[in-house]
Structure 1
Amino acid sequence: MSTSARLRRYDAFLDLRRRVLPAAAAAQPDDGRAKPAGPGTRRRTDLRLVLPALAAWGAAVAGLWLPPLALGFACCLLLAASAALLAGHRYGRRTVRTVRTVRPVGRGGRSFPATAAVALALAATVAAHAAVAAGQRTDGPLADAVAAGKSVVALVEVAATPKALNLAGHSSGPQRWAVPVWTVEISTGGVLVRTRAQLLVMGGGAWGAAVPGQQLRAAGKLRAPGPGSLETGILAASAAPATMSDGAGLNAAAADLRARFVAACRFLGPDASGLLPGLVTGDTSVLDEDLMVAMKSVGMTHLTAVSGANCSLVLGGLLLAARRFRLPRVPAAGVALGGLGLFVVLVGPEASVLRAAVMGGVAVAALACGRSGRGLSFLCLAVIGLLLLDPGLGGSFGFLLSVLATLGIIVLGRRLIEWTPAAVPRWMAAAVAVPLSAQLLCGPVTVLLQPGFSTYSLLANVLAAPLVAPVTLLGTAAVPMLAVAEWWAVPLIAGAGLFSAGVAAIARFATALPAATVPWAEGIPGVLSMALLSALTFGAVWASVRPRRTARKILACHRHTERLLAQLETWGRTGPARFPGRRRLAGRQGHGRVGNSTKLSGRNPRWPLHKNGHPAHRQPTWPRGGT
């Protein structure tokens, strides 16, 4: 058979296998439990987007530290490398078509150069965007005014929801606010500068009413931000802002709904009235300081950050409601995405919320197209899209923790659920696996931010997990009700407040337990030790759910160790074997091992002897006619 005929038969076999195996896997009944690994029963994890996501993230982080000139040079190098890889990839494909072999080139071998080229091109794009932002931070009249610490009068546009800065000893409410803004014009020393740069305004209580999109006039003194910061400078406001124009309709309505929701929760208990707005909209302005410290000590502050869990619950609830009304797949996905967009406007476009919203949007789009189950690819797409829009997210610890938590749930959480014995209900396995997998990956970064180990963090999050879903769904449904009929929202707020009081009680109970917070090493040693603890915890879970396999592996390791020690002992007595594969059984004369005779008269006992008494190194020849 010719080479071309064998190639055609091999390609036909591969095409048949790609068609038959997925169909056979789909025909098997699904009982909701994990299937054993085998051909066609489990899809491989798609890693092709991991390299582009890491390259884009690396370029975004470099953009926070490198000067614009270095970033421009890096962009040129990345584009040149990408073009070289693409040219080499096309040449390689042409060579494969010309010189055909019996075994075709594998898919991974052909796709890796193209993947690397795409990764370098994305990194160059992110670096170019970061270079523009770095130029605004380091060059120009505004950068000079920041370096000189001048007093200015600025017209600014509010970029995000104000963040409360609760001071110690003030439990009545926040005394200071941090407001991210974009500059419109700045007047300093009789000079008017029109530029668009990012500033962080630190002001008093009046700044808490700022609405995204609103234009304000502020007066204060500029100072330089910390290294690697996203802002060009920090404006310490010396007076209340003057409103020049109202914000956009949606942003103003969202701010009004948030304020009305806080006011509507006042009839609840102290803990519930302060915690419920934080769980639903991320507003912690009325949260009790003691409760905030308790939640921080047991690792529950992520519940008030409106991150991926809240967006997933809202998205899932909208999808179920749309399917309840028998909407087709694509219209249901559109309704869910629209509701998710309104939820993002309500809580504010923070880094974690944007990441979760983009992640949910990609997942819903893939579900509408019939390609679900690729969580890692969805996460990489979300990371790439967000970094292309805002490279400054690459240096945000909130963004990093959000991505790590999602990665842990996707990669480790699924395996933890699969390892759970069949006798354990799936919902119970997920209730433990989701917080544990997120904590394993977020632990090293959390220690870097706050040196300390929350002993009961997993227990507190597992107990609070069943309460978070009703709080989010009931509270989110109550917010728009305040604009339509306030009395209809009261029962929803009361139900959500009951569950939020349970969350607060769990936080206070876990804090009161002995050794709730254990001191931990700071810096790199703390990160490495926490990473080691996470790896040991993951191994302990694996060993506990598979005791028989663990016992077999321990016995196998024991046998290998025993064999290695015996080999080392032999080498220590006789030296390494001269010929590999031939083991020495006899040591030096007079120094043999117990059980081996050392009086062999100089002959090798492994070989028979000729009639003359010399050892035969070949198969001995025996006289004919006898043995």
Structure 2
Amino acid sequence: MRTDLRLVAPALAVWLSAALTLGLSPTLACALTLATAVPALYCLTTRKAVRDESKPRRMLVGVVLMCAAASAGGVALRAAAVGTGPVRELARTGRTATAEAVVTGDPRSKPGAGRRIVILRARVETVPGARVRVPVLLIAGHPQWLRLVPSRRVRLIGTFRTPHQAELLAAVVLVRGPPTLLGPPSTAQRAAEHVRGRLRASVGHLPPDQRAVLPGMVVGDTSGLDEELAEDFRVAGLTHLLVVSGANLAIVTAAVLGLCRLAGLGRRRAPPVAALAVLAFVVIARPEPSVLRAAVMGMIGLLALLTGRQRHGLPALGAAVLLLVLIDPTLARSYGFALSVLATAGLLVLAPPWRERLARRMPGPLADALAVTAAAEVAVAPVLVMISGELGVVSVFANLLAAPAVAPATLLGALATVTALASPPAARLVVWPAGFAVGWIIRVARTASALPYATIPWTAGGLGAVTVLLAGGIALLILRSPRLRLTAASAMVGVLVAVVALRVVAPGWPPPGWQMVACDVGQGDALALAAGPGQAVVVDAGPDPAPIDGCLRRLGVRDVPLLILTHPHADHIDGAPGVRQGRSVHEVLTTPRTSGREARQIPWLRPRPALTDQRWTVGDLTLSILGPLAAAPVLTPGDDGTTVNNASIVLVARRPGFSALLAGDVEIEAQRALSATIPSVQVLKVPHHGSRSQDPAFITAAHAAISLISVGKENDYGHPSSLTLALLERAHTQIHRTDQEGDIAVIRTTTGVAAVARH
């Protein structure tokens, strides 16, 4: 073990050096390089007596420092390359220019200001008057960017901006319009996309959830996965199954080596065949951090098999980290890479002794499964808490339940992928049993995520990681002391009894008599107003169909008498198909000050304009339209976001014992125009996700006891603004946020109204 740790030390030095150097100027990075290289050379070149016992230690220190110097030097060279030249000059001046670029990463879609945006990495090769070769980040709005695959060459027009230094990018480019295609992808990427497409076609006859999850487990293709199911996997601690990792690669490599043995290939010929399979797998699954780490480790293991040398896990992991961080220093600050490495380290260091201890008290297979699962979860816990601010409680048990189905799903999925190239009908037969395995995993994820207290709120960031480590140390002390174990067990039993009693007494979801629910749809708006058994009036639908559909399903809504879309921004209307999923939508209202984008975006709509002073009645629920006022301008396609926001429908919802002001995204100008007409209400839906554009008179005129902010977690806009939160606190209103509490219901009480959060 000591030898293994000595071999891992250089890798840790490379990783730490790159993480510290990223974000520094090239000058400081060069200074750090020299500061580590000089003592490294001293340790490696100083001659002493042969019997000097400190020589191995001095050599190790020298190697570690030299590796750190090499890492810092690599960062310095890259920082100098991206920090100078024509592209960085365009970014410094904020100019708009035409460029030719090669896509280097898969496009990612996420909600933006009024529409979905596409983010992808590329390498700019031509700008006006110069040929270059530097990495950039593209931010586009046109959906055609989503169809691109790595290695595709395109021409674009965009505005260049200066990036954060830690990204090692020459620029961030805000792209206008669709890409102009200049050529096909590379042969390898065309083949990879062909394979992925055949797999998607093969799973087309499976149920929707299964055909979305299976390609993700096999080749990392999660393009068909809806956000609600992805959230269930995250809460259950099963997200790693949707990301191609070392486990997938190990299963595929073992299967290839097994087939080689059956074919009579010896020890010399089987590893090269498996190495080719590993390379093909990396191309098809895309070179994500976890895939790269697993591929390098796999190659090292195959080399050891070929040469007949004993394989050691920790040295292989160290070699993978060292090589990958030297090649791509940005991995040093990649959460995905850190999770992959830590999970593997947990399996190599923690799992073996835990397996031995557990095997004394339970059957061997169960001890193996529990030790492996617990070791991986414990190893990654600090990083997960740092990212999410939550501590998973059910993840170990969810992984134990899902584990028996992972290998069959992966192997059958991989077999179907290969079979689909020759015979798609045969591939559809192969994925049929794989669908059963995936269905079990999905059931585990949904059940585990629905359990009360599946996750525990925790401090996010570095402080959260430190406190988790401290809690782990305390737990270790408790496990080693019989007296402390008895005390801790008694305390846990008491807490469990209290939790069970609370769940028996406390209402489930939805709470009985709910009046209104702010659905957690991410960075967007979606509200449901109770209108009778199985009925609700829906105000806005969020940016995606899945979250609003899930929210309405949880509420038991089967019929929507009225759908109100306050204004034509994507974060309010693009989820409208989810409202209609399995439900009847009788009428649709839109702002009269619209360019008609709602009807073009969602063809099944036949909207009616919501006119000022108009009143709608659904059961005992009354809806009064306050805005937009007649003075608001009619929108045109070129209008900016503020104009569209100020054209939002503003309405008051009332029924006996309940009232709410739903203000869309109106900003200061419209709020001031409406302030004189705002009545006192019990609930205020804070305009525009709590942005800083708020009129104090508008907020105070509502006199709301509860203020709801519909906002996405860690959004790019800084919503809600600290100024707005301070304004609401001065108004003495309870503040509730969907990014912190999930779905939020408003119920009637004997003294007024109260808010009940789903999470």
**What are the superposed Cα offsets for residues 21-49 of structure 1, whole Å, 9 maximum, x if unpaired?**
xxxxxxxxxxxxxxxxxxxxxx6662112
Q: Distance in 1 between matches of 2:260 and 2:114?
A: 48
Query: Partner of 1:515: helix, strand, or coil?
Result: coil
Deviation at 1:460, TM superposition (A): 0.8
User: Which residue does the alignment assign to 1:465?
Assistant: 403
**What are the superposed Cα offsets for residues 497-518 of structure 1, whole Å, 9 maximum, x if unpaired?**
2211111111110111111222
Query: Partner of 1:49: helix, strand, or coil?
Result: helix
Deviation at 1:167, TM superposition (A): 7.6
Q: Is residue 134 of structure 1 aligned with residue 79 of structure 2?
A: yes
Could you tell me which of 414, 430, 433 is aligned with 2:352? 414
Could you tell me which of 194, 197, 201 is aligned with 2:134? 197
Deviation at 1:384, TM superposition (A): 0.7
8 A contact 1:224–1:232 mirrored in 2:
yes
Could you tell me which of 47, 51, 57 is aligned with 2:5? 47
* CA distance 1:494–1:431, change in 2 (3 Å): same
Deviation at 1:538, TM superposition (A): 5.0
Tell me the amino acid that sits aligned with residue 183 of structure 1. Answer: V
Aligned sequence identity (%) = 34
Query: Partner of 2:57: helix, strand, or coil?
Result: helix
User: Which residue does the alignment assign to 1:102?
Assistant: none
Tell me the amino acid that sits aligned with residue 49 of structure 2. Answer: G
Query: Partner of 2:182: helix, strand, or coil?
Result: strand
Q: After superposing the two structures, state which structure 1 stretch, 77-86 or 265-274, moved more.
A: 77-86
Q: Is residue 347 of structure 1 aligned with residue 295 of structure 2?
A: no
Q: Distance in 2 between matches of 1:347 and 1:167?
A: 27
* CA distance 1:348–1:301, change in 2 (3 Å): same
Q: After superposing the two structures, state which structure 1 stretch, 282-291 or 54-63, moved more.
A: 54-63
| Runs of 5+ consecutive residues of structure 2 not aligned to the other structure | 487-759
Q: Is residue 442 of structure 1 aligned with residue 380 of structure 2?
A: yes
User: Which residue does the alignment assign to 1:161?
Assistant: 106
User: Which residue does the alignment assign to 2:119?
Assistant: 178
Residue-pair matches, total: 485
Q: Distance in 1 between matches of 2:353 and 2:30?
A: 43
Q: Is residue 454 of structure 1 aligned with residue 392 of structure 2?
A: yes
* CA distance 1:476–1:129, change in 2 (3 Å): same
Deviation at 1:421, TM superposition (A): 2.7
* CA distance 1:185–1:514, change in 2 (3 Å): same
Tell me the amino acid that sits aligned with residue 359 of structure 1. Answer: M
Deviation at 1:129, TM superposition (A): 1.7
Greater helix content: 1
Deviation at 1:399, TM superposition (A): 0.8
* CA distance 1:386–1:329, change in 2 (3 Å): same
Q: Distance in 1 between matches of 2:81 and 2:262?
A: 51
Q: Distance in 1 between matches of 2:468 and 2:485?
A: 25
* CA distance 1:256–1:240, change in 2 (3 Å): farther
User: Which residue does the alignment assign to 2:591?
Assistant: none
User: Which residue does the alignment assign to 1:367?
Assistant: 305
Deviation at 1:423, TM superposition (A): 5.8
Deviation at 1:428, TM superposition (A): 1.8
Deviation at 1:182, TM superposition (A): 0.9
Tell me the amino acid that sits aligned with residue 297 of structure 1. Answer: V
* CA distance 1:428–1:184, change in 2 (3 Å): same
Deviation at 1:437, TM superposition (A): 0.8
Deviation at 1:200, TM superposition (A): 1.6
TM-score, normalised relative to structure 2: 0.61
User: Which residue does the alignment assign to 1:145?
Assistant: 90
Deviation at 1:125, TM superposition (A): 2.0
8 A contact 2:198–2:424 mirrored in 1:
no
Query: Partner of 1:225: helix, strand, or coil?
Result: coil
Deviation at 1:259, TM superposition (A): 2.4
User: Which residue does the alignment assign to 1:224?
Assistant: 162
**What are the superposed Cα offsets for residues 86-121 of structure 1, whole Å, 9 maximum, x if unpaired?**
122x3232xx3xxxxxxxx65xx3322112222222
User: Which residue does the alignment assign to 1:510?
Assistant: 448
Instruction: State the Cα RMSD in Å.
Output: 2.4
Q: Is residue 91 of structure 1 aligned with residue 64 of structure 2?
A: no
Tell me the amino acid that sits aligned with residue 443 of structure 1. Answer: A
Q: Distance in 2 between matches of 1:418 and 1:166?
A: 48
Tell me the amino acid that sits aligned with residue 156 of structure 2. Answer: A
* CA distance 1:522–1:320, change in 2 (3 Å): same
8 A contact 2:24–2:165 mirrored in 1:
no
Ranked by relative contact order (alpha carbons within 8 Å, sequence separation 6 or more), the top structure is 1
* CA distance 1:201–1:259, change in 2 (3 Å): farther
Q: Distance in 1 between matches of 2:170 and 2:426?
A: 46
Q: Is residue 485 of structure 1 aligned with residue 423 of structure 2?
A: yes
Query: Partner of 1:241: helix, strand, or coil?
Result: strand
TM-score, normalised relative to structure 1: 0.73
**What are the superposed Cα offsets for residues 215-244 of structure 1, whole Å, 9 maximum, x if unpaired?**
111222223334522322222222111111
Q: Distance in 1 between matches of 2:28 and 2:114?
A: 46
| Runs of 5+ consecutive residues of structure 1 not aligned to the other structure | 1-42, 97-104, 544-549, 556-627
Q: Distance in 1 between matches of 2:448 and 2:103?
A: 39
Answer with 1 or 2: which has the greater Rg: 1
* CA distance 1:534–1:372, change in 2 (3 Å): farther
Deviation at 1:291, TM superposition (A): 0.6
Query: Partner of 2:127: helix, strand, or coil?
Result: strand
User: Which residue does the alignment assign to 1:31?
Assistant: none
Q: Distance in 2 between matches of 1:169 and 1:219?
A: 21
User: Which residue does the alignment assign to 1:519?
Assistant: 457
* CA distance 1:320–1:506, change in 2 (3 Å): same
User: Which residue does the alignment assign to 2:547?
Assistant: none
